[in-house]
Amino acid sequence: MTSCVGWLLDVSIDNDHVILWIKTEEGQTVKLRDPYHPGFYILPRNESDALRLIQILSREEEIAVRWEYRRTSLFDSNKQTRLIHVKLRSLRYYQSLLKKLERDRQVKQLYNTDLLHVQQYLFSKLKIEPTSRVKVEYNGSKLLEISKIDDEDDVNPPPFSLLYFDLRTYSGILASDDAIRIIKLRYGEDDVEFDNGEEKVILQQFSDYVHEKNPDIIVCMGDYDKGKVLRYLFSRAKKIGFDLRLGRDDDNDDTNHYSNTLENPRIVGRICISSNYRKTTYFDEFGFVGLIERARFGFLPLEVAAKYSINRLIDSRNCFELVQKDFVIPSKSNSSNNHEHVRTVEQIVSGDKGGMIISPQIGLHENVLALDYDSEYANLIVNHNLSYETLRLSHEARGKVVHHQPNKGLLPRIVERFLKRRVYFKRLLKELPKDSRESEWCDQRVNSLKNILVCLYGSTGSLWNRFGNVLAYEEINRLSRGVLIKTKDIVQRLGYELVYADTDSVFIKSKTGRDYNEIINTLSKETGLSISIEYHYKFLVLLPLEADEKIEVLKHYYGITFDNELVVRGIEIRRHDIPNFIKQFQTQLLCTLFDCKDSSELLTKGYENALLLVTQAIDTIMTGEGLDDKDLVISKLLRQNIEKYKSLFPHVSAAIRLSKHPLKGDTIQYIYTDSQHNNPLCRVAPIENIISESLPPYDKEKYREMVLDASETVLGFFGFDRTVYGNLKTNNDERGERRRKWRWYEEILEQRVRDIHTETL
């Protein structure tokens, strides 16, 4: 017997065995086997049908049956039902038996058949989350015992090694007759390229490098999902007669390297995930450590967690928790949930409301404190025991929503655990050095857990939630609105001014310069929720709706804190389809405007300096000095295939002009060359069609308009008048007149430049 301590790298099903891969503390990898016998539950239609089913199933040597009592409904958890538990000695009979029973009229319902086999094993037998630290005892390759070592408070991730790879073909399409041109790899600090032209040599070099570095996780970069990349890679190797081996070589059979079928290839012994710039993956957004949080939450292997949507991840966690409480899991098609209820129109209108918003006071504000209720919805769920099964309509009380279960519900149990975990790492983050690796890992954990908690609330009433109950979702929102109303009353009672509030955030200011500790403590005490300072603004500008300056707009503001941090929402800097030059200009414009002691200085000196900066930006656009093509590039996502667009939007026109046929999800990069051209295809040019190394010809007036748009967003409230710079929104017939006006503007510009030069001396 041998023992080791390490981390549970991966769990998978291989015929009648579970394969567990352990990464030891010494850096070795151990492959272990554990017998697996799939099972499920049958609810017969009646007692006589049950006896006949047991008789029929008992005749089969490969099947073992017995009676068991299990809870079948989350919404009637006190009731236990007698079910037939079916356990198979081999996985090979599982699907055929299921199909037979699904057609059998003696069967009323099947349970646990929606669970993956790896979920059945993890939930019912192993009960340890993949990636966890474990102690293992084994004999040869046979698993004898495995136990979890608590590492919940450890900010460091498991010591899994990652190798990134990307491949390119000659045509850019991953077809079986499309040869590999280059394979790029990154491992740690090493960047390697294999591109000597001979395909077999490239693949051999790739295979040798993988075995030399022996990574635990392979990350597929580039345009395609990892499944398509692997299918292409192995089918291409097979076509040219190359035996591509990327798996860990414990056995000498081909199945140890990748599955027998090319429909769903796996690199055995290594985890393979995607990092795809066409569509941001969870790995891209929250990092590797965030992905580990996702796997542990879903109680799933890392590779499965990486490809699962958040709804499936939450469903997996729900199912795990219920299995531990002796529940069986109904299929989604047969799930008798409480998603919707028969209600009057008046009841629906009264209950079906989201979060509450108090309209912003448009304009410039000084010394504004932005307060944020920490994980408000999560705390409401826990504090008020709001769950799928704890809320129902009371017909006796004329359709009023009431709590009907005193015990802690499923949703609060889950939320409470991961809320505490997020609070722990959030506090730890404040103690860690900002530029350290530990700080980065801690931040990934905090953000990943925040995403999970938000989605736990958001999917409460979702139709896709197996146990969803819209009443729970509405009740959470109702309580949230009550908190905001109470907050408003407290703020006004204590003599502060509420300038804006949105769901769980409030913006307040004190005209007398009072200390804010009093109101923070009072809000926390009277609402029963933790509240913290999000930002303390030196200046804050709440912006109007562009169509009407008298109409407030939500999440459309900018400001600067007392720590000189710019905070912006809903303006050009935050948009992905704005050129870098415009973003940099608007950032500099904000810094220039806010470089003042108080609001009176901002309205005079700050505004005047900002106007000079606008002139400089226009001059840069018109002369092109200091610009390169990257400053002007606009990036836009192609949200559907080209043929489905009915209008030739600029990014669609650019996509049509590309040599490679773009697909839905591609990011199209282009610049404006002549925005007023009669032919939409000639208004823009994709950057890959621009061969010149110097700054390409671009539509100066179009980019000048962008500068003025960005200026108007920031300075509009202070009286900015773009007509001073000329109105260039004209048609083709007015181009001659526009050029004559531009000569007049150039004379003004020259004088302004001389004035700026004089002031800087």
177-192 tens-digit pLDDT: 888 999 999 999 899 9
Domain 353-561 CATH class label: alpha beta
The domains of the chain are located at: 2-35+127-148, 39-115, 162-324, 353-561, 571-627+702-760, 629-694
Query: pLDDT grade, residue 211 (50/70/90)?
Result: very high
Q: 2.20.25, 3.30.70, 3.40.720, 1.10.10: which CATH number matches 39-115?
A: 3.30.70
Query: Nearest to residue 332, comparing CAs of 124, 115, 119, 120?
Result: 115
Higher model confidence: residue 441 or residue 574? 441
**Closest-CA residue to 676 (of 634, 739, 584, 725):** 739
Please compute the mean of the pLDDT values over residues 92-121 and round it to a whole number.
Answer: 95
Task: State residue 295's pLDDT score.
Answer: 96
Q: 103-117, 509-523, 599-613: which range is least confident on average?
A: 509-523
- Partners of 222 in beta bridges: 276
DSSP output for 702-742: HHHHHHHHHHHHHHGGGT--GGGG------GGGHHHHHHHH
Average pLDDT score over the chain: 87
Mean pLDDT of the region 48-54: 95
Look at the domain 629-694 and name its fold.
Answer: Topoisomerase I; Chain A, domain 4 (1.10.132)
Q: What's the whole-number mean pLDDT along residues 64-68?
A: 96
pLDDT band, very low/low/confident/very high, at 252 (cuts 50, 70, 90): very low
Residue 41 Rama label (left phi>0; alpha psi -120 to 50; beta): beta
Any residues with CB less than 8 A from the CB of 10 and at least 6 apart, and which? Answer: 19, 20, 21, 130, 269, 271, 301, 302, 303
CA dist 260 and 691 (Å) reads: 46
Element of type H or E holding 83: strand 81-88
Reported confidence tier of residue 353, pLDDT bands at 50, 70, 90: confident
Task: Please tell me the number of Cα atoms within 13 Å of 379 on its side-chain side.
Answer: 15
Question: Quick check: 662 pLDDT over 90?
Answer: no
Closest by Cα among 216, 217, 25 to 136 = 25
CATH class of 2-35+127-148: mainly beta
Whether the per-residue pLDDT at 554 is higher than 70: the answer is no
Question: Over 80: is that where the pLDDT of 665 sits?
Answer: no
**Model pLDDT, residue 337:** 54
pLDDT band at 391 (very low <50, low <70, confident <90, very high): confident
Whether residue 553 has pLDDT greater than 60: no
Summarize the confidence of residues 550-555 as an average pLDDT.
Answer: 56
What angle, rounded to 10 degrees, do the helices at 700-715 and 607-623 form?
A: 170
Is there a shared CATH topology between the 39-115 domain and the 162-324 domain?
no
The Cβ of residue 139 has, within 10 Å, a number of other Cβ atoms equal to 10
Return the CATH architecture of domain 162-324: 2-Layer Sandwich (3.30)
Q: Which of 7-16, 88-97, 352-361, 398-407 has the lowest mean pLDDT?
A: 398-407
Helix (H, G, I), strand (E, B) or coil at 46: coil
pLDDT band at 253 (very low <50, low <70, confident <90, very high): very low
Q: Give residue 77's pLDDT.
A: 85
User: Rounded to two decimals, what is the model's pTM?
Assistant: 0.84
Q: Say how far apart CA 667 and CA 223 lie, in whole Å.
A: 10
Could you report the per-residue pLDDT of 479-502, keeping only the tens digit for each?
Answer: 999 999 999 999 999 989 999 999
> Are the C-beta atoms of 493 and 481 separated by less than 8 Å?
no
Q: Map 188-253 to HEC letters.
A: CCEEEEECCCCHHHHHHHHHHHHHHHCCCEEEEEECCCHHHHHHHHHHHHHHCCCCCCCCCCCCCC
What pLDDT, on a 0 to 100 scale, did the predictor assign at position 729?
45
CA nearest to 607, candidates 593, 624, 622: 593
